[in-house]
Structure 1
Amino acid sequence: MPELRVILTIAGKEFRDRLRNRWVLVVALVFTALALTIAYFGNAQQGTLGFRSMAVTIASLVSLVIYLIPLIALMLGFDAIVGERERGTLDLVLSLPLSRGELLIGKYCGLAAALSAATVAGFGAVGAVLLPVSTPADALRFAGFVLSSVALGCAFLSIALMLSTFARDRARASGLAIGAWFFFVLVFDLLLLGGLVATSGQASGDLIAWALLANPADVFRILNVLAVEEIRSLHGLASIFPASYTRPAVLIAAMLAWIVLPLAVAHRRFRTST
Protein backbone atom coordinates (compact mmCIF):
# COMPACT_ATOMS: atom_id res chain seq x y z
CA MET A 1 0.00 0.00 0.00
CA PRO A 2 1.58 3.33 -1.04
CA GLU A 3 2.51 5.56 1.88
CA LEU A 4 1.08 9.07 1.60
CA ARG A 5 4.02 10.71 3.37
CA VAL A 6 6.50 9.32 0.84
CA ILE A 7 4.32 10.35 -2.10
CA LEU A 8 3.97 13.90 -0.77
CA THR A 9 7.72 14.16 -0.19
CA ILE A 10 8.48 13.18 -3.79
CA ALA A 11 5.70 15.43 -5.11
CA GLY A 12 7.02 18.36 -3.09
CA LYS A 13 10.52 17.90 -4.50
CA GLU A 14 9.21 17.80 -8.10
CA PHE A 15 7.10 20.91 -7.52
CA ARG A 16 9.96 22.84 -5.88
CA ASP A 17 12.26 21.91 -8.76
CA ARG A 18 9.79 23.48 -11.22
CA LEU A 19 9.53 26.60 -9.07
CA ARG A 20 13.30 26.84 -8.74
CA ASN A 21 13.95 26.70 -12.48
CA ARG A 22 11.16 29.26 -13.12
CA TRP A 23 9.15 26.75 -15.17
CA VAL A 24 5.85 27.59 -13.46
CA LEU A 25 6.43 31.34 -13.87
CA VAL A 26 7.34 31.10 -17.55
CA VAL A 27 4.34 28.92 -18.46
CA ALA A 28 1.97 31.12 -16.43
CA LEU A 29 3.22 34.21 -18.26
CA VAL A 30 2.82 32.48 -21.63
CA PHE A 31 -0.77 31.50 -20.79
CA THR A 32 -1.54 35.02 -19.57
CA ALA A 33 -0.06 36.77 -22.61
CA LEU A 34 -1.70 34.51 -25.18
CA ALA A 35 -5.06 34.43 -23.42
CA LEU A 36 -5.19 38.22 -23.01
CA THR A 37 -4.28 38.65 -26.67
CA ILE A 38 -7.01 36.27 -27.81
CA ALA A 39 -9.56 37.80 -25.44
CA TYR A 40 -8.83 41.34 -26.68
CA PHE A 41 -8.42 40.67 -30.42
CA GLY A 42 -10.83 37.74 -30.67
CA ASN A 43 -13.48 39.79 -32.49
CA ALA A 44 -11.17 41.69 -34.82
CA GLN A 45 -12.72 39.96 -37.84
CA GLN A 46 -16.02 41.65 -36.92
CA GLY A 47 -14.27 45.01 -36.77
CA THR A 48 -14.36 45.33 -32.96
CA LEU A 49 -11.64 45.15 -30.34
CA GLY A 50 -11.78 44.88 -26.57
CA PHE A 51 -12.65 42.47 -23.81
CA ARG A 52 -16.04 40.82 -24.01
CA SER A 53 -17.92 38.44 -21.73
CA MET A 54 -16.29 35.27 -20.45
CA ALA A 55 -18.73 33.06 -22.36
CA VAL A 56 -17.54 34.45 -25.70
CA THR A 57 -13.90 34.40 -24.62
CA ILE A 58 -14.07 30.72 -23.64
CA ALA A 59 -15.00 29.79 -27.21
CA SER A 60 -11.90 31.62 -28.44
CA LEU A 61 -9.59 30.13 -25.79
CA VAL A 62 -10.60 26.50 -26.35
CA SER A 63 -8.36 26.13 -29.40
CA LEU A 64 -5.41 27.69 -27.54
CA VAL A 65 -5.80 25.21 -24.70
CA ILE A 66 -6.19 22.20 -27.00
CA TYR A 67 -2.99 23.00 -28.87
CA LEU A 68 -0.82 24.31 -26.03
CA ILE A 69 -1.63 22.46 -22.79
CA PRO A 70 -1.27 18.90 -24.17
CA LEU A 71 2.10 19.82 -25.68
CA ILE A 72 3.34 21.37 -22.43
CA ALA A 73 2.10 18.41 -20.37
CA LEU A 74 3.76 15.88 -22.68
CA MET A 75 7.05 17.78 -22.69
CA LEU A 76 6.89 18.10 -18.91
CA GLY A 77 6.46 14.41 -18.19
CA PHE A 78 7.98 12.45 -21.07
CA ASP A 79 11.32 11.92 -19.28
CA ALA A 80 10.01 11.58 -15.73
CA ILE A 81 11.03 7.92 -15.53
CA VAL A 82 13.24 7.24 -18.53
CA GLY A 83 15.25 10.36 -17.74
CA GLU A 84 16.05 9.09 -14.26
CA ARG A 85 17.04 5.73 -15.74
CA GLU A 86 19.24 7.30 -18.40
CA ARG A 87 21.03 9.53 -15.87
CA GLY A 88 21.66 6.51 -13.66
CA THR A 89 19.78 7.97 -10.69
CA LEU A 90 16.78 5.63 -10.82
CA ASP A 91 18.54 2.74 -9.08
CA LEU A 92 19.84 5.14 -6.43
CA VAL A 93 16.36 6.51 -5.77
CA LEU A 94 14.84 3.03 -5.64
CA SER A 95 17.48 1.97 -3.08
CA LEU A 96 15.70 4.28 -0.65
CA PRO A 97 12.77 2.96 1.44
CA LEU A 98 10.09 3.62 -1.17
CA SER A 99 8.27 1.57 -3.77
CA ARG A 100 8.14 2.10 -7.52
CA GLY A 101 4.47 2.97 -7.21
CA GLU A 102 5.20 5.68 -4.63
CA LEU A 103 7.92 7.14 -6.86
CA LEU A 104 5.66 7.18 -9.93
CA ILE A 105 2.64 8.65 -8.16
CA GLY A 106 4.78 11.19 -6.31
CA LYS A 107 6.37 12.37 -9.54
CA TYR A 108 2.99 12.60 -11.20
CA CYS A 109 1.46 14.59 -8.34
CA GLY A 110 4.37 17.04 -8.25
CA LEU A 111 4.34 17.60 -12.00
CA ALA A 112 0.54 17.89 -12.03
CA ALA A 113 0.70 20.47 -9.23
CA ALA A 114 3.24 22.54 -11.19
CA LEU A 115 1.18 22.37 -14.39
CA SER A 116 -2.03 23.19 -12.50
CA ALA A 117 -0.44 26.15 -10.74
CA ALA A 118 0.77 27.60 -14.03
CA THR A 119 -2.61 27.07 -15.69
CA VAL A 120 -4.64 28.56 -12.85
CA ALA A 121 -2.28 31.53 -12.50
CA GLY A 122 -2.27 32.27 -16.23
CA PHE A 123 -5.98 31.97 -16.89
CA GLY A 124 -6.88 33.37 -13.48
CA ALA A 125 -5.25 36.66 -14.47
CA VAL A 126 -7.43 36.73 -17.60
CA GLY A 127 -10.52 35.97 -15.53
CA ALA A 128 -9.75 38.90 -13.24
CA VAL A 129 -9.58 41.23 -16.26
CA LEU A 130 -12.87 39.92 -17.69
CA LEU A 131 -14.76 39.84 -14.40
CA PRO A 132 -16.11 43.44 -14.62
CA VAL A 133 -17.81 42.73 -17.99
CA SER A 134 -19.22 39.31 -17.04
CA THR A 135 -22.18 37.97 -15.12
CA PRO A 136 -21.85 35.64 -12.10
CA ALA A 137 -22.97 32.74 -14.32
CA ASP A 138 -20.21 33.55 -16.81
CA ALA A 139 -17.69 33.70 -13.97
CA LEU A 140 -18.71 30.22 -12.83
CA ARG A 141 -18.46 28.98 -16.41
CA PHE A 142 -14.97 30.44 -16.73
CA ALA A 143 -13.96 28.74 -13.49
CA GLY A 144 -15.19 25.47 -14.98
CA PHE A 145 -13.16 26.19 -18.09
CA VAL A 146 -10.00 26.66 -16.02
CA LEU A 147 -10.65 23.45 -14.06
CA SER A 148 -11.27 21.50 -17.26
CA SER A 149 -8.01 22.93 -18.66
CA VAL A 150 -6.23 21.59 -15.58
CA ALA A 151 -7.90 18.21 -16.09
CA LEU A 152 -6.82 18.14 -19.74
CA GLY A 153 -3.24 18.83 -18.70
CA CYS A 154 -3.40 16.06 -16.09
CA ALA A 155 -4.74 13.62 -18.70
CA PHE A 156 -1.87 14.29 -21.10
CA LEU A 157 0.59 14.20 -18.21
CA SER A 158 -0.66 10.68 -17.45
CA ILE A 159 -0.06 9.76 -21.08
CA ALA A 160 3.44 11.26 -20.86
CA LEU A 161 4.35 9.19 -17.80
CA MET A 162 2.97 6.07 -19.47
CA LEU A 163 5.17 6.71 -22.50
CA SER A 164 8.13 7.39 -20.21
CA THR A 165 7.82 3.93 -18.65
CA PHE A 166 7.81 2.22 -22.06
CA ALA A 167 10.58 4.22 -23.78
CA ARG A 168 14.15 2.95 -23.70
CA ASP A 169 15.78 6.39 -23.75
CA ARG A 170 14.88 10.08 -23.70
CA ALA A 171 15.14 10.44 -27.47
CA ARG A 172 12.53 7.76 -28.05
CA ALA A 173 10.38 9.14 -25.24
CA SER A 174 10.40 12.62 -26.77
CA GLY A 175 9.50 11.14 -30.16
CA LEU A 176 6.60 9.23 -28.64
CA ALA A 177 5.40 12.37 -26.84
CA ILE A 178 5.44 14.44 -30.02
CA GLY A 179 3.72 11.62 -31.88
CA ALA A 180 1.01 11.47 -29.21
CA TRP A 181 0.45 15.23 -29.52
CA PHE A 182 0.12 15.01 -33.30
CA PHE A 183 -2.28 12.08 -33.06
CA PHE A 184 -4.65 13.42 -30.41
CA VAL A 185 -4.57 17.10 -31.39
CA LEU A 186 -4.20 17.02 -35.19
CA VAL A 187 -4.76 13.57 -36.68
CA PHE A 188 -7.61 12.09 -34.63
CA ASP A 189 -10.33 14.45 -35.83
CA LEU A 190 -9.10 14.19 -39.42
CA LEU A 191 -9.50 10.41 -39.21
CA LEU A 192 -13.06 10.84 -37.94
CA LEU A 193 -13.81 13.30 -40.72
CA GLY A 194 -12.31 10.90 -43.24
CA GLY A 195 -14.51 8.13 -41.86
CA LEU A 196 -17.59 10.29 -42.27
CA VAL A 197 -16.65 11.10 -45.85
CA ALA A 198 -15.85 7.47 -46.66
CA THR A 199 -19.26 6.35 -45.37
CA SER A 200 -21.03 9.27 -47.08
CA GLY A 201 -22.14 10.56 -43.69
CA GLN A 202 -23.92 7.32 -42.79
CA ALA A 203 -22.00 6.83 -39.52
CA SER A 204 -24.41 7.20 -36.62
CA GLY A 205 -24.23 10.05 -34.14
CA ASP A 206 -23.70 7.57 -31.30
CA LEU A 207 -20.67 6.08 -33.04
CA ILE A 208 -19.11 9.50 -33.58
CA ALA A 209 -19.88 10.45 -29.99
CA TRP A 210 -18.14 7.40 -28.56
CA ALA A 211 -15.18 8.00 -30.85
CA LEU A 212 -14.86 11.59 -29.66
CA LEU A 213 -14.91 10.45 -26.05
CA ALA A 214 -11.82 8.38 -26.90
CA ASN A 215 -9.79 11.59 -27.23
CA PRO A 216 -9.21 13.79 -24.15
CA ALA A 217 -8.79 16.87 -26.36
CA ASP A 218 -12.25 16.30 -27.85
CA VAL A 219 -13.72 15.68 -24.42
CA PHE A 220 -12.37 19.06 -23.36
CA ARG A 221 -13.77 20.72 -26.49
CA ILE A 222 -17.22 19.22 -25.98
CA LEU A 223 -17.25 20.13 -22.32
CA ASN A 224 -16.47 23.78 -22.98
CA VAL A 225 -18.18 24.40 -26.31
CA LEU A 226 -20.89 21.94 -27.22
CA ALA A 227 -22.18 21.80 -23.64
CA VAL A 228 -22.77 25.59 -23.81
CA GLU A 229 -26.10 26.07 -25.55
CA GLU A 230 -25.42 29.66 -26.68
CA ILE A 231 -22.42 28.74 -28.82
CA ARG A 232 -23.27 25.20 -29.96
CA SER A 233 -24.26 26.55 -33.37
CA LEU A 234 -20.77 28.00 -33.91
CA HIS A 235 -19.25 24.50 -34.22
CA GLY A 236 -20.08 21.99 -36.89
CA LEU A 237 -19.93 19.00 -34.54
CA ALA A 238 -23.00 20.30 -32.71
CA SER A 239 -25.21 19.01 -35.50
CA ILE A 240 -23.99 15.39 -35.23
CA PHE A 241 -23.27 15.08 -31.52
CA PRO A 242 -26.20 13.66 -29.53
CA ALA A 243 -27.34 15.99 -26.75
CA SER A 244 -27.22 13.13 -24.23
CA TYR A 245 -23.43 12.97 -24.57
CA THR A 246 -22.98 16.63 -23.65
CA ARG A 247 -24.07 15.99 -20.07
CA PRO A 248 -21.29 17.14 -17.74
CA ALA A 249 -21.34 13.86 -15.78
CA VAL A 250 -20.54 11.82 -18.90
CA LEU A 251 -17.79 14.18 -20.03
CA ILE A 252 -16.22 14.48 -16.57
CA ALA A 253 -16.21 10.68 -16.22
CA ALA A 254 -14.48 10.38 -19.60
CA MET A 255 -11.84 12.94 -18.61
CA LEU A 256 -11.22 11.21 -15.27
CA ALA A 257 -10.78 7.93 -17.13
CA TRP A 258 -8.13 9.57 -19.29
CA ILE A 259 -6.32 10.67 -16.14
CA VAL A 260 -6.53 7.36 -14.28
CA LEU A 261 -6.13 4.68 -16.98
CA PRO A 262 -2.81 5.79 -18.55
CA LEU A 263 -1.38 6.28 -15.06
CA ALA A 264 -2.52 2.78 -14.11
CA VAL A 265 -0.82 1.37 -17.22
CA ALA A 266 2.33 3.32 -16.33
CA HIS A 267 2.24 1.93 -12.78
CA ARG A 268 1.91 -1.64 -14.01
CA ARG A 269 4.69 -1.22 -16.56
CA PHE A 270 7.06 0.49 -14.14
CA ARG A 271 6.42 -2.08 -11.43
CA THR A 272 7.30 -4.99 -13.73
CA SER A 273 10.17 -3.36 -15.65
CA THR A 274 13.81 -3.89 -14.79
Structure 2
Amino acid sequence: MNRILASSRTEFVIALRNRWITISVVMMVLFSLVLSAAGSAPTGALGADKLSVTVASLTSLAVYLVPLVALLMSFDAIAGEIERGTLSLVLTYPVARGELLLGKFIAHLAILAIAVAAGYGIAALTAVVSDTNALVGLPALLRLFWSSILLGATFLGIGYGISAFSRRPGAAAGLVIGLWLVLIVLYDLGLLAAIVADDGGAFTTGYFPWLLIGNPADAFRIYNLAMSEATAAAAGLTGAANSIPPLYALISIAVWPVIATTLAWATFRKVTP
Protein backbone atom coordinates (compact mmCIF):
# COMPACT_ATOMS: atom_id res chain seq x y z
CA MET A 1 0.00 0.00 0.00
CA ASN A 2 2.85 2.39 0.80
CA ARG A 3 4.38 1.75 -2.63
CA ILE A 4 1.06 2.53 -4.32
CA LEU A 5 0.71 5.79 -2.40
CA ALA A 6 4.32 6.74 -3.13
CA SER A 7 3.75 6.14 -6.84
CA SER A 8 0.52 8.12 -6.69
CA ARG A 9 2.18 11.03 -4.90
CA THR A 10 5.00 11.13 -7.47
CA GLU A 11 2.52 11.09 -10.36
CA PHE A 12 0.47 13.85 -8.75
CA VAL A 13 3.57 16.05 -8.39
CA ILE A 14 4.47 15.43 -12.04
CA ALA A 15 0.94 16.37 -13.12
CA LEU A 16 1.14 19.52 -11.00
CA ARG A 17 4.47 20.43 -12.60
CA ASN A 18 3.02 19.82 -16.08
CA ARG A 19 0.04 22.05 -15.21
CA TRP A 20 -2.47 19.25 -15.81
CA ILE A 21 -4.40 20.19 -12.69
CA THR A 22 -4.65 23.82 -13.79
CA ILE A 23 -5.61 22.90 -17.35
CA SER A 24 -8.28 20.41 -16.24
CA VAL A 25 -9.83 22.77 -13.71
CA VAL A 26 -9.87 25.70 -16.12
CA MET A 27 -11.49 23.59 -18.85
CA MET A 28 -14.24 22.28 -16.57
CA VAL A 29 -14.95 25.64 -14.93
CA LEU A 30 -14.99 27.53 -18.23
CA PHE A 31 -17.36 25.15 -20.01
CA SER A 32 -19.57 24.81 -16.93
CA LEU A 33 -19.96 28.57 -16.69
CA VAL A 34 -20.80 28.80 -20.39
CA LEU A 35 -23.49 26.13 -20.02
CA SER A 36 -24.85 27.81 -16.89
CA ALA A 37 -25.16 31.09 -18.76
CA ALA A 38 -26.77 29.37 -21.75
CA GLY A 39 -29.32 27.68 -19.49
CA SER A 40 -30.25 30.82 -17.58
CA ALA A 41 -33.66 31.13 -19.26
CA PRO A 42 -36.82 30.79 -17.10
CA THR A 43 -37.49 27.15 -16.21
CA GLY A 44 -41.13 27.26 -15.13
CA ALA A 45 -42.41 25.92 -18.45
CA LEU A 46 -40.12 22.91 -18.10
CA GLY A 47 -41.40 21.96 -14.68
CA ALA A 48 -37.83 21.81 -13.41
CA ASP A 49 -35.72 23.84 -11.02
CA LYS A 50 -32.67 25.76 -12.18
CA LEU A 51 -30.16 23.25 -10.81
CA SER A 52 -31.87 20.33 -12.58
CA VAL A 53 -31.66 22.25 -15.84
CA THR A 54 -27.98 22.88 -15.12
CA VAL A 55 -27.41 19.18 -14.37
CA ALA A 56 -29.00 18.25 -17.71
CA SER A 57 -26.60 20.63 -19.46
CA LEU A 58 -23.62 19.39 -17.44
CA THR A 59 -24.47 15.81 -18.37
CA SER A 60 -24.10 16.69 -22.04
CA LEU A 61 -20.83 18.47 -21.25
CA ALA A 62 -19.43 15.62 -19.17
CA VAL A 63 -20.09 13.01 -21.87
CA TYR A 64 -17.64 14.82 -24.14
CA LEU A 65 -15.21 16.53 -21.80
CA VAL A 66 -14.60 14.02 -18.98
CA PRO A 67 -13.47 11.18 -21.31
CA LEU A 68 -11.31 13.62 -23.29
CA VAL A 69 -9.54 14.94 -20.18
CA ALA A 70 -9.03 11.39 -18.88
CA LEU A 71 -7.54 10.21 -22.17
CA LEU A 72 -5.26 13.23 -22.46
CA MET A 73 -3.91 12.58 -18.97
CA SER A 74 -3.34 8.86 -19.49
CA PHE A 75 -2.19 8.40 -23.10
CA ASP A 76 1.51 8.86 -22.28
CA ALA A 77 1.45 7.43 -18.76
CA ILE A 78 3.37 4.36 -19.92
CA ALA A 79 4.47 5.23 -23.46
CA GLY A 80 6.03 8.47 -22.21
CA GLU A 81 8.09 6.66 -19.59
CA ILE A 82 9.25 4.13 -22.17
CA GLU A 83 10.36 6.90 -24.52
CA ARG A 84 12.17 8.79 -21.75
CA GLY A 85 13.80 5.60 -20.48
CA THR A 86 12.43 6.05 -16.97
CA LEU A 87 10.23 2.95 -16.95
CA SER A 88 13.18 0.56 -16.86
CA LEU A 89 14.62 2.55 -13.95
CA VAL A 90 11.33 2.55 -12.02
CA LEU A 91 10.92 -1.19 -12.48
CA THR A 92 14.29 -1.83 -10.83
CA TYR A 93 12.72 -0.73 -7.54
CA PRO A 94 10.68 -3.21 -5.48
CA VAL A 95 7.35 -2.14 -6.96
CA ALA A 96 5.04 -4.38 -8.97
CA ARG A 97 3.65 -3.19 -12.27
CA GLY A 98 0.14 -3.38 -10.90
CA GLU A 99 1.13 -1.13 -8.00
CA LEU A 100 2.75 1.36 -10.36
CA LEU A 101 -0.32 1.43 -12.59
CA LEU A 102 -2.67 1.76 -9.62
CA GLY A 103 -0.62 4.66 -8.28
CA LYS A 104 -0.93 6.49 -11.59
CA PHE A 105 -4.64 5.71 -11.65
CA ILE A 106 -5.25 7.15 -8.17
CA ALA A 107 -3.32 10.34 -8.94
CA HIS A 108 -5.04 10.96 -12.27
CA LEU A 109 -8.46 10.16 -10.81
CA ALA A 110 -7.83 12.64 -7.99
CA ILE A 111 -6.94 15.33 -10.53
CA LEU A 112 -10.08 14.55 -12.50
CA ALA A 113 -12.19 14.69 -9.33
CA ILE A 114 -10.75 18.11 -8.45
CA ALA A 115 -11.53 19.44 -11.94
CA VAL A 116 -15.05 18.00 -11.99
CA ALA A 117 -15.81 19.27 -8.47
CA ALA A 118 -14.62 22.76 -9.41
CA GLY A 119 -16.64 22.88 -12.63
CA TYR A 120 -19.83 21.45 -11.19
CA GLY A 121 -19.47 23.47 -8.01
CA ILE A 122 -19.26 26.77 -9.87
CA ALA A 123 -22.24 25.85 -12.04
CA ALA A 124 -24.28 24.77 -9.01
CA LEU A 125 -23.43 27.96 -7.12
CA THR A 126 -24.57 30.03 -10.09
CA ALA A 127 -27.85 28.11 -10.23
CA VAL A 128 -28.53 28.39 -6.49
CA VAL A 129 -27.81 32.12 -6.42
CA SER A 130 -30.29 32.77 -9.23
CA ASP A 131 -32.97 30.32 -8.01
CA THR A 132 -33.63 29.70 -4.32
CA ASN A 133 -35.56 26.51 -5.16
CA ALA A 134 -32.56 25.05 -6.98
CA LEU A 135 -31.42 23.05 -3.94
CA VAL A 136 -34.01 20.38 -4.73
CA GLY A 137 -31.76 19.41 -7.63
CA LEU A 138 -28.76 18.78 -5.35
CA PRO A 139 -29.16 14.95 -5.32
CA ALA A 140 -29.03 14.96 -9.13
CA LEU A 141 -25.83 17.03 -9.00
CA LEU A 142 -24.17 14.68 -6.51
CA ARG A 143 -25.20 11.71 -8.65
CA LEU A 144 -23.71 13.41 -11.69
CA PHE A 145 -20.45 14.02 -9.79
CA TRP A 146 -19.71 10.45 -8.74
CA SER A 147 -20.90 8.96 -12.03
CA SER A 148 -18.58 11.40 -13.84
CA ILE A 149 -15.70 10.05 -11.76
CA LEU A 150 -16.63 6.50 -12.80
CA LEU A 151 -16.81 7.58 -16.44
CA GLY A 152 -13.40 9.20 -16.12
CA ALA A 153 -12.01 6.07 -14.47
CA THR A 154 -13.15 4.02 -17.47
CA PHE A 155 -11.32 6.24 -19.94
CA LEU A 156 -8.23 6.44 -17.74
CA GLY A 157 -8.05 2.65 -17.95
CA ILE A 158 -8.57 2.77 -21.71
CA GLY A 159 -5.83 5.38 -22.02
CA TYR A 160 -3.38 3.28 -20.01
CA GLY A 161 -4.13 0.26 -22.18
CA ILE A 162 -3.51 2.21 -25.37
CA SER A 163 -0.35 3.74 -23.89
CA ALA A 164 1.03 0.31 -23.03
CA PHE A 165 0.00 -1.15 -26.37
CA SER A 166 1.43 1.60 -28.60
CA ARG A 167 4.60 2.24 -26.50
CA ARG A 168 5.10 5.59 -28.27
CA PRO A 169 3.42 8.83 -27.15
CA GLY A 170 2.76 10.02 -30.70
CA ALA A 171 1.01 6.82 -31.70
CA ALA A 172 -0.87 6.70 -28.40
CA ALA A 173 -2.12 10.28 -28.87
CA GLY A 174 -3.51 9.47 -32.30
CA LEU A 175 -5.18 6.31 -31.04
CA VAL A 176 -6.88 7.93 -28.03
CA ILE A 177 -8.27 10.81 -30.11
CA GLY A 178 -9.54 8.33 -32.70
CA LEU A 179 -11.11 6.19 -30.00
CA TRP A 180 -12.73 9.24 -28.41
CA LEU A 181 -14.30 10.18 -31.74
CA VAL A 182 -15.59 6.64 -32.26
CA LEU A 183 -17.04 6.07 -28.78
CA ILE A 184 -18.37 9.57 -28.10
CA VAL A 185 -19.41 10.85 -31.53
CA LEU A 186 -19.52 8.21 -34.26
CA TYR A 187 -21.01 5.42 -32.13
CA ASP A 188 -24.28 7.28 -31.58
CA LEU A 189 -24.42 8.38 -35.20
CA GLY A 190 -24.03 4.75 -36.27
CA LEU A 191 -26.84 3.65 -33.96
CA LEU A 192 -29.06 6.44 -35.25
CA ALA A 193 -28.41 5.39 -38.85
CA ALA A 194 -29.19 1.78 -37.96
CA ILE A 195 -32.48 2.78 -36.30
CA VAL A 196 -33.54 4.77 -39.36
CA ALA A 197 -32.68 1.86 -41.64
CA ASP A 198 -34.42 -0.66 -39.35
CA ASP A 199 -37.66 1.37 -39.28
CA GLY A 200 -38.92 0.02 -35.97
CA GLY A 201 -37.82 -3.56 -36.58
CA ALA A 202 -35.98 -6.12 -34.47
CA PHE A 203 -32.81 -4.04 -34.14
CA THR A 204 -34.64 -1.06 -32.64
CA THR A 205 -36.66 -3.08 -30.13
CA GLY A 206 -34.17 -5.84 -29.29
CA TYR A 207 -30.55 -4.86 -29.86
CA PHE A 208 -30.52 -1.07 -29.67
CA PRO A 209 -31.04 -0.71 -25.88
CA TRP A 210 -28.21 -3.14 -25.12
CA LEU A 211 -25.84 -1.50 -27.59
CA LEU A 212 -26.69 1.85 -26.01
CA ILE A 213 -25.87 0.87 -22.42
CA GLY A 214 -22.87 -1.12 -23.66
CA ASN A 215 -21.16 2.21 -24.39
CA PRO A 216 -20.04 3.73 -21.05
CA ALA A 217 -20.69 7.27 -22.28
CA ASP A 218 -24.27 6.50 -23.32
CA ALA A 219 -24.88 4.54 -20.11
CA PHE A 220 -23.67 7.58 -18.15
CA ARG A 221 -26.02 9.90 -20.01
CA ILE A 222 -29.03 7.59 -19.66
CA TYR A 223 -28.47 7.02 -15.95
CA ASN A 224 -28.20 10.69 -15.05
CA LEU A 225 -31.22 11.70 -17.11
CA ALA A 226 -33.45 8.79 -16.10
CA MET A 227 -32.85 9.02 -12.34
CA SER A 228 -34.46 12.45 -12.04
CA GLU A 229 -37.80 13.41 -13.58
CA ALA A 230 -36.89 17.09 -13.41
CA THR A 231 -33.56 16.53 -15.14
CA ALA A 232 -35.16 14.34 -17.80
CA ALA A 233 -37.82 16.97 -18.41
CA ALA A 234 -35.17 19.68 -18.66
CA ALA A 235 -33.29 17.59 -21.22
CA GLY A 236 -36.45 16.94 -23.20
CA LEU A 237 -35.71 13.21 -23.22
CA THR A 238 -38.24 11.82 -20.77
CA GLY A 239 -39.48 9.05 -23.04
CA ALA A 240 -36.04 8.01 -24.24
CA ALA A 241 -34.58 8.07 -20.75
CA ASN A 242 -37.36 5.90 -19.32
CA SER A 243 -37.13 3.28 -22.07
CA ILE A 244 -34.04 1.67 -20.47
CA PRO A 245 -33.97 0.75 -16.75
CA PRO A 246 -31.52 3.02 -14.89
CA LEU A 247 -30.18 -0.01 -13.01
CA TYR A 248 -28.77 -1.47 -16.23
CA ALA A 249 -27.05 1.81 -17.03
CA LEU A 250 -25.65 1.98 -13.49
CA ILE A 251 -24.22 -1.54 -13.79
CA SER A 252 -22.53 -0.56 -17.04
CA ILE A 253 -21.04 2.57 -15.45
CA ALA A 254 -19.74 0.57 -12.46
CA VAL A 255 -18.35 -2.39 -14.41
CA TRP A 256 -16.52 -0.56 -17.19
CA PRO A 257 -13.76 0.96 -14.97
CA VAL A 258 -12.89 -2.51 -13.69
CA ILE A 259 -12.81 -3.98 -17.20
CA ALA A 260 -10.75 -1.13 -18.66
CA THR A 261 -8.20 -1.05 -15.84
CA THR A 262 -7.82 -4.84 -15.82
CA LEU A 263 -7.15 -4.88 -19.57
CA ALA A 264 -4.66 -2.04 -19.13
CA TRP A 265 -2.84 -4.02 -16.43
CA ALA A 266 -2.79 -7.14 -18.63
CA THR A 267 -1.30 -5.11 -21.50
CA PHE A 268 1.22 -3.39 -19.22
CA ARG A 269 2.48 -6.76 -17.98
CA LYS A 270 3.67 -7.58 -21.50
CA VAL A 271 5.61 -4.34 -21.95
CA THR A 272 9.38 -4.73 -22.16
CA PRO A 273 11.13 -1.42 -21.28
> Is the TM-score greater than 0.5?
yes
Q: For 1:238-249, what aligned pairs fall within 5 Å after superposition?
A: 238-239=238-239, 243=243, 245-247=245-247
Once the two structures are TM-superposed, the CA of residue 123 in structure 1 deviates from its matched residue by: 1.5
Asked if 1:80 is matched to 2:77, the reply is yes
| Residue in structure 2 matched with residue 229 of structure 1 by the alignment | 229
Report Cα offsets for 1:50-108 as digits up to 9, x if no partner: xx611011112222211211111111100101111111111110001111111111111
CA distance in structure 1 between the partners assigned to 2:197 and 2:163 by the alignment: 36
Q: Moved runs in structure 1, 4+ residues, more than 6 A? A: none
Of residues 258, 262, 272, the one that matches 1:260 is: 258
- Residues 86 and 169 of structure 1 are in contact (CA less than 8 Å); yes or no, is this contact kept in structure 2? yes
CA distance in structure 2 between the partners assigned to 1:149 and 1:241 by the alignment: 18
> What is the TM-score with the length of structure 2 in the denominator?
0.88
- Residues 71 and 156 of structure 2 are in contact (CA less than 8 Å); yes or no, is this contact kept in structure 1? yes
Which region of structure 1 is more displaced relative to structure 2, 30-39 or 186-195? 30-39
CA distance in structure 1 between the partners assigned to 2:124 and 2:42 by the alignment: 23
Count of matched residue pairs: 264
> What is the TM-score with the length of structure 1 in the denominator?
0.88
Once the two structures are TM-superposed, the CA of residue 188 in structure 1 deviates from its matched residue by: 0.5
- Residues 74 and 159 of structure 2 are in contact (CA less than 8 Å); yes or no, is this contact kept in structure 1? yes
| Residue in structure 1 matched with residue 210 of structure 2 by the alignment | 210
| Residue in structure 1 matched with residue 64 of structure 2 by the alignment | 67
Q: Which structure is higher in RCO with an 8 Å CA cutoff and minimum separation 6?
A: 2
Please give the root-mean-square deviation of Cα atoms over the aligned residues, in Å.
Answer: 2.2
CA distance in structure 2 between the partners assigned to 1:100 and 1:106 by the alignment: 10
- Residues 205 and 241 of structure 1 are in contact (CA less than 8 Å); yes or no, is this contact kept in structure 2? no
CA distance in structure 2 between the partners assigned to 1:38 and 1:8 by the alignment: 36
Structure 1 140/75 Cα, relative in aligned 2: closer, same or farther at 3 Å? same
CA distance in structure 2 between the partners assigned to 1:198 and 1:94 by the alignment: 53
Of residues 24, 27, 30, the one that matches 1:33 is: 30
| Gap regions ≥5 residues in structure 1 | 47-51
CA distance in structure 1 between the partners assigned to 2:69 and 2:241 by the alignment: 29
Structure 1 26/219 Cα, relative in aligned 2: closer, same or farther at 3 Å? same
Query: What is the letter of the counterpart of residue 205 of structure 2?
Result: G
| Residue in structure 2 matched with residue 137 of structure 1 by the alignment | 136
